[in-house]
Chains A and B, each alone.
Chain A
């Protein structure tokens, strides 16, 4: 559960909770070219979705969960 920082990549696993949105936003502000790895993310709170949409990072891996990935891709206008 939570956020791991690997250099310029933020790795998110399990659930990204509502309170994490501020951390996520802060990190994205400090790392303008940063990437986010969502492979192990099972859900992220809508507040986090807003952060991702307002300040779209590079996504290195989409969630393994197909439904979540599908929604996120559409939200971030990155559908294939």
Chain B
């Protein structure tokens, strides 16, 4: 059974690039363009095996999204990876503290992406 990954990013390009890489690697991909939309999707019943979320997004940013997502019953243990740049150390630390499992550094290459996912998602 293919694993489902939710990708949250306000950049259409980024979503597209991640989605393509993930689909090639055999994952089912759901997308959202900001934290609020992602949260709404989670509430309506989709249950991803992993979430990848950007940090800086309009309406609801990644940090708030992670915090809210962890309060949803089905999302307590789901691995979440924050999409950050090298310089966003503080953001990474904050995201980690609020429940992120790890992070990806932009720009993300397809190979790196799969490698990191395999490291946090058993059976991926």
Contact = CB atoms under 8 A, between A and B. Distances in A.
B122 A15 contact: yes
Interface of B: 1, 77, 122-123
Given A18-B77, A43-B122, 8 more contacts: A1-B1, A14-B123, A15-B122, A15-B123, A19-B77, A42-B123, A43-B123, A45-B122
Interface in A1-39: 1, 14-15, 18-19
A14 B123 CA distance: 9
A1 B123 CA distance: 11
A42 B124 CA distance: 12
A18 B101 CA distance: 14
Contacts of A19: 77
A43 B77 CA distance: 16
A28 B67 CA distance: 33
A1 B122 CA distance: 12
Contacts of B122: 15, 43, 45
10 contacts: A1-B1, A14-B123, A15-B122, A15-B123, A18-B77, A19-B77, A42-B123, A43-B122, A43-B123, A45-B122
Contacts of A42: 123
A14 B3 CA distance: 14
Interface string A35-72: 00000001101000000000000000000000000000
Contacts of A14: 123
A66 to B, nearest CB: 17
A76 B123 CA distance: 24
Nearest to B74: A19
Contacts of B123: 14-15, 42-43
A45 B78 CA distance: 12
A18 B123 CA distance: 13
A15 B1 CA distance: 12
A40 B72 CA distance: 32
